[in-house]
Amino acid sequence: MKYFSLHHNAPIVSFKEAVINGLAPDRGLYFPENITPLPKDFIENLDQFSNEEIAFRAIQQFVGDEIPEDTLRQIVSETIAFDFPVVAIEKNIGSLELFHGPTLAFKDVGARFMARCLGYFNQQNAEKVTVLVATSGDTGGAVANGFLGVKGVEVIILYPSGKVSDIQEKQLTTLGQNITALEVEGVFDDCQEMVKSAFLDSGINRQLTSANSINVARWLPQMFYYFFAYKQLYKKHKDILFSVPSGNFGNICAGMLAQKLGLPIKHFIAATNINDTVPLFMLEGNYTPKPSQPTISNAMDVGNPSNFIRIQELFQHNFEDLKTAFSSYSFSDDLTKDAMQRIHKNSNYIADPHGAVGYLGLEKHNLKDNEFGVFLETAHPVKFLDVVENTLAKTIAIPEDIQTLIQKEKKSTQIQTYEELKAFLNE
């Protein structure tokens, strides 16, 4: 498989080059040259296949022959070595729980897949690769855990000071070894801009790549969730919709890629908090990025979502075609808390703020009688302990490994400017 830059001013590259480069030299995101639908009989008999086989077949064309089949199968197996259950919430609504991985967040899948691909590509390389990543919350912990101890790879994580939860911060600042955390005075967009600038700075004397969802190896495997959910539901429900809590839009974009591969998903809903760049675009047709605003669903505090251009590319930048497959709605913190309370009262289910925003997306879309809506529960409620406990007036049991994590000492380096980041990288 070959990949081109969505800015169309950079060389065509292989999967390996796209993974190692992270971002194209023209600052564009890489995108596959071809998307070949999977065989119809495979989709129609999805429940006859293991999750490992489904994931392997979904990802194989995007890797090509650059990783041997047995190695790729092993990578896939290790990537998805936990559960992805759809839990019934209401008659026609379910929660796809994506928090059963090691860091209790959906980003474990992408981080684990990318870490193993990069480890394979770098095994014969004497030069160390530096993974430089910005996080608005869960990416940092998932990347830190996924790459911990990977030979020849150093990880540097930028996160906005005071704008991630305590547990999220401990997950990315306490591991040590090859993981370093940089605490940035600013918001996520500032962190992301620093990362993008570093990629294009010829004055930085190390090999950089990114583990944000801008990297194809982080973005592509997220489509596995949708296959696994569809496998659980399609024999009972004909019309299936997904409402995805969306910040940088990599997750929902991967779902829409799964749809292009032949998964018959009826509609996608991008549910956001008050950072409403995409909902406004869907109303007005004008894409106008703006500074992000802090919310209780902090992993979605993104004012200029990088992956939305990939969604547009999937629809050849045809706005009318996009509207038939995709909707986007924005919700306030007050509405989010109200949804958390109603879900708990009506279903005895504890949703984190991001899952609650996804639930609101389904409510706003007004499901028909023959439709089944799935919202993505992207993180365990314990990762947003203060918000969940205060909203529900309920004490949440903290898993033992999280209790151990909380006791660990935070280690981070504070920076304010890109110049400080560059100096750090060149030390």
Q: Is residue 136 over pLDDT 80?
A: no
- Across residues 308-335, what is the average pLDDT? 96
* Residue 181 β-bridge partners: 157
Residue of 117, 106, 54, 49 whose CA lies nearest to 83: 106
- Going by pLDDT thresholds of 50, 70 and 90, the confidence category of residue 126 is low
Tens digits of per-residue pLDDT, 160-195?
998 888 888 988 898 888 999 999 998 888 998 898
| Residue 420: predicted pLDDT | 93
Helix (H, G, I), strand (E, B) or coil at 392: helix
| Torsion of the alpha carbons at 104, 337, 158 and 79, rounded to the nearest 10 | 20
% of the chain at pLDDT higher than 90 = 69
Cite the active site residues: 107
- Going by pLDDT thresholds of 50, 70 and 90, the confidence category of residue 127 is confident
Phi and psi torsions of 243, nearest 5°:
-110, 120
Tens digits of per-residue pLDDT, 186-201?
888 899 889 888 988 8
Q: Is residue 141 over pLDDT 90?
A: no
CA gyration radius for the chain?
20
Tell me 270's DSSP state. E
- Across residues 140-166, what is the average pLDDT? 86
Q: How far apart are CA 174 and CA 185, in angstroms?
A: 20
Please write down the long-range contacts of 13-18, taking CB distance under 8 Å and 24 or more positions apart: 14/64, 14/66, 15/62, 15/63, 15/64, 15/66, 15/216, 16/66, 16/121, 18/215, 18/216, 18/217
Q: pTM for the full model?
A: 0.90
Count of CB atoms within 10 A of residue 10's CB?
18
Q: Is residue 158 over pLDDT 90?
A: yes
Tens digits of per-residue pLDDT, 15-41?
999 998 888 989 899 999 999 999 999
| Residue 233: predicted pLDDT | 97
Average pLDDT over the chain, rounded to whole?
Answer: 92
Contact 425, 130 (CB under 8 A): yes
Q: Which segments within 6-56 are labelled E, that is strand?
A: 13-14, 30-32
| Residue 22: predicted pLDDT | 86
- Across residues 320-331, what is the average pLDDT? 96
Least confident of 64-78, 94-108, 236-250, 401-415: 401-415
Helix (H, G, I), strand (E, B) or coil at 242: strand
Q: How far apart are CA 246 and CA 250, in angstroms?
A: 8
Q: Tell me which of 410 and 274 has the higher pLDDT.
A: 274
Count of CB atoms within 10 A of residue 259's CB?
21
Least confident of 43-52, 77-86, 151-160, 329-338: 151-160
Phi and psi torsions of 46, nearest 5°:
-60, -35
- Across residues 62-75, what is the average pLDDT? 97
Contact 92, 373 (CB under 8 A): yes
